[in-house]
Amino acid sequence: MNKNLLLLALSQIFSFTAAPVTVFLSGIIGSQISPVKSLSTLPMSISVVGIAIGAIVATKVMSLVGRKYGFILASIGNALISILAAYSVLNQNFVLFCFANFFLGVGMAFTHQYRFAAAESVEKNMAPKAISIILFGGIISAFLGPSLANYAKDLLSEHLYVGSYLVLAALTFIPSILFLFYKNDTVVKKNIKYSGRSYLELISQPRFIQAITASAFGYAIMTFLMTATPISMHVMEKMSLSKTGIVIQFHVAAMFLPSLITGHLIKKIGHSNVIYAGLFLYGVTLFMSIFDQSFYNYMIALIFLGLGWNFLFIAGTSLLVLTYNENEKYKAQGLNDFIVYSVHALGSLSAGIFISLSSWKIMNLICIPFIILIILTSVRADIVDKKNPSVLRR
């Protein structure tokens, strides 16, 4: 644990609160102020689109000004956009609320770069542990963000949830102060043209494809089911909002709690085995969801969904770090995050459509082909690596 890693971990706690608050509130607020009820999940989905587009923006900005100032600018931007979200709720302006959620997503793309900055702050063999430390901060965010947002929702008694976004503005501003003490090790270039191998050469590596596939489709499956959960539980099954909130909170906690051991597991049994373990956990989710739709089934299914996501995302991210050279990092990281969060966005955007046209059980069955895809790319990478161990640089 060095100074930069400590600052990144602390900043993650406050910056990442934007994610669980968006999951917790955007759909509820959307259902209240949207002119078309079927568009209630649009703010949540459009925030994921913002992450996908912001992935390219974030890597280019940081290649221009460095990690430190890139993170400070993003923190200030997130705070200002949170205030805009509060204003849009105050005025019941659905379009402006969607606009604010989009740019909260762009800001989250910068937060997602914390994991790469953490990997760069340690030796490569310690990258999985460094990434795990950063993601572990998310478990605090999972409870801190929604709890404070819920506590502050009546801050303006006549305007529900305006106070929630004012509190979010304060939380997301804190990292801009912390990063003043961050040592900017990034080599800042006057021109942001990426060097190194071409995109085609990077993608031609089986391990690179495995890393992106595990992260992208692992994320898509998780968000596809998570986004539909509040609608399935609260709207379709008529369960209380408090029960729905508990399931979401435990799900988000499960997403980050394994970070205490995931880095150790990767070092002990390897990236591929951790990916296979994550897919097994997803299998438990599908099994529980197909059987019944009681509160406890939702709870167990969503906990295993979070655990599986953690294994797939950390293994995929730390594996990616091993597939590129230093002069290729912004190119590789930008491509990875653009693909990961684009697929993530498709999963989120389609969730509302599928849950309204089909059922919770059908949605879980739809995930099976994507689990098979991750297995195939991982098996292929393992076979190629056995024949040519240099494919995965150690």
**Long-range contact set of residues 234-242: C-beta below 8 Å, sequence gap at least 24:** 236/355, 236/360, 237/293, 239/295, 239/298, 241/28
CATH of domain 197-388: 1.20.1250.20
**The pLDDT of residue 198:** 84
* Domains 1-180 and 197-388 equal at CATH topology level: yes
- Give the rounded distance of the alpha carbon of 277 from its chain centre: 20
**The pLDDT of residue 109:** 93
Question: Percent of the chain having pLDDT more than 90?
Answer: 47
Shortest CA distance to 283 belongs to which of 379, 380, 365, 211? 365
Shortest CA distance to 142 belongs to which of 287, 16, 229? 16
Which amino acid is residue 292, in one-letter code?
A: D
CATH class of domain segment(s) 1-180 = mainly alpha
Residue 153 and residue 157: Cα distance in Å, rounded? 8
**The pLDDT of residue 284:** 95
Low-confidence ranges of the chain (pLDDT < 70): 1, 38, 185-195, 389-394
Mean pLDDT of the chain: 88
Structure tokens at 394: 């150690």
Phi-psi region of 393 (alpha: psi -120 to 50; beta: other; left: phi over 0): beta
End-to-end CA distance of the chain: 22
DSSP 8-20: HHHHHHHHTTHHH
**The pLDDT of residue 194:** 52
Q: Where are the domains of the chain?
A: 1-180, 197-388
**The pLDDT of residue 391:** 47
**The pLDDT of residue 192:** 46
